[in-house]
Amino acid sequence: MKLAPSILACDFGRLSEEIAAVERGGADWIHVDVMDGHFVPNLTFGPLVARAARRTTRLPLDVHLMIEAPDRYLEAFAEAGADVLTVHQEACPHLHRTLQRIHELGVKAGVALNPATPLESVSEVLRLTDLLLIMSVNPGFGGQVYIPQSTDKVRRARALLDAADSGAELEVDGGVDAKNAAELEAAGATVLVAGSAVYGHPSGPKGGVEAIRAALAGP
């Protein structure tokens, strides 16, 4: 299981220390939440902050684009050092072309699905999908409550990927913590994103990553 702390919940005035802390805790990826105030109500940051994160760590940067018309910014985020670029199915009328474009930029391509979006909406593009992201909250804010039906969606996503013989990562994002990590592992997730459970942990972000790891069965 890969753990991908989201810097959305970190102290941006201490970005490099906050990333170093989760690295010490055993984080596998750094999750970077980009919001545009249109696709989601909230605004965060653009490629400049992704680049700043890139400069402070060697861990893969997992960039989650919660933005309308993401094609306009793929190149900028690739240049900023993204290793995975995930777009929302709901924001991409020409999803097949968008995923091809991400690959042309030399980056892994992810597709995210909002809680209301059915898994079938990506069945035609699985061959172009390196990562399938199941949103377990409605995107836009950290610290929301996990939607319980998401576990079953992850289970069905696992079956869909396996039936297609896809080796794509299966990522879950939103309200993930040490309490639901094991059930998501059992459902077939391979990457867990966590923001507030990591950066809001009483013993700090290193302890936050360790607590989720300890809740998992396997390595």
Catalytic residue list: 33, 173
How many chain residues touch ligand DX5 (CB under 6 A)?
Answer: 22
Given the structure tokens 């459970």, which residue do they identify?
A: 197
Of 153, 160, 196, 212, which one interacts with ligand DX5 (CB under 6 A)? 196
Helix (H, G, I), strand (E, B) or coil at 10: coil
Binding-site string for ligand DX5 from residue 160 to residue 179, where x marks contact by CB under 6 A and - marks none:
-------------xxxx---
Percentages helix, strand, coil for the chain (3-state, rounded to 5) are 45, 20, 35
Binding-site string for ligand DX5 from residue 127 to residue 166, where x marks contact by CB under 6 A and - marks none:
----------x-xxxxxx----------------------
Indicate the Cα dihedral angle 15, 113, 200, 207, nearest 10°: -80
Of 160, 192, 194, 211, which one interacts with ligand DX5 (CB under 6 A)? 194
Of 28, 173, 185, 210, which one interacts with Zn ion (CB under 5 A)? 173
Query: Computed over its alpha carbons, how large is the radius of gyration of the chain?
Result: 16
Question: Within 22-51, which residues bind ligand DX5 (CB under 6 A)?
Answer: 31, 33
Cβ atoms 51, 16 nearer than 8 A: no
Q: What is the DSSP letter of 210?
A: H
Sequence letter at residue 130: D
Given the structure tokens 């690739």, which residue do they identify?
A: 78
Q: Which does 115 bind (CB under 5 to 8 A by kind): ligand DX5, Zn ion, none?
A: none
Is 108 near ligand DX5 (CB under 6 A)? no
**Closest approach of Cβ 104 to ligand DX5, in Å?**
25
Cβ atoms 22, 209 nearer than 8 A: yes
